[in-house]
């Protein structure tokens, strides 16, 4: 097994891989755009200002701060939760699951 496969399985166990990985280029683009909005948004600017007083909140600094402080992994967790719910609803619609 390659190192990239091992690290991918640590993030996304094989049984839930389809729920964590964007399923199309459109999904990937949407995910990246959402992360950019979060990283450059007012909430991240506020956190950056609190942790880094006196440092200019450039786009680059905000992106590094967002990634370093867990924003990217938080985004992944929200994406997995969203995709898991969408997959559950699709299976329910196809009659594979009973409504909960």
Per-residue pLDDT of the chain (100 residues; tens, 9 = 90+): 444 444 444 444 445 555 555 556 567 788 788 889 989 999 999 999 999 999 999 999 999 998 888 887 777 777 777 777 777 777 777 776 665 5
Q: How much is the pLDDT for 41?
A: 92
Domain boundaries, the chain: 21-93
Kindly report the backbone phi and psi dihedral angles of residue 21, in degrees, each rounded to the nearest multiple of 5, phi listed first: -100, 130
Count Cβ atoms below 10 Å from residue 15 Cβ, excluding itself: 7
Q: In angstroms, what CA-CA distances link 91 with 2, 55, 66, 67, 79? A: 32, 49, 34, 33, 18
Q: How much is the pLDDT for 57?
A: 93
Q: How much is the pLDDT for 7?
A: 42
DSSP element (H, E) containing 94: none
Count Cβ atoms below 10 Å from residue 80 Cβ, excluding itself: 16
Q: How much is the pLDDT for 22?
A: 57
């Amino acid at each position: 097994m390659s190192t990239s496969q091992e690290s991918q399985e640590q993030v996304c166990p094989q049984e839930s891989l389809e729920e964590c990985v964007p399923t199309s280029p459109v999904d990937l683009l949407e995910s990246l755009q959402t992360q950019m909005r979060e990283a450059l948004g007012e909430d991240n600017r506020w956190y950056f200002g609190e942790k880094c007083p006196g440092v200019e909140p450039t786009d680059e600094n905000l992106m590094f701060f967002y990634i370093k402080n867990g924003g990217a992994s938080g985004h992944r967790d929200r994406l997995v939760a969203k995709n898991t719910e969408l997959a559950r609803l699709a299976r329910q619609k196809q009659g594979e699951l009973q409504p909960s």
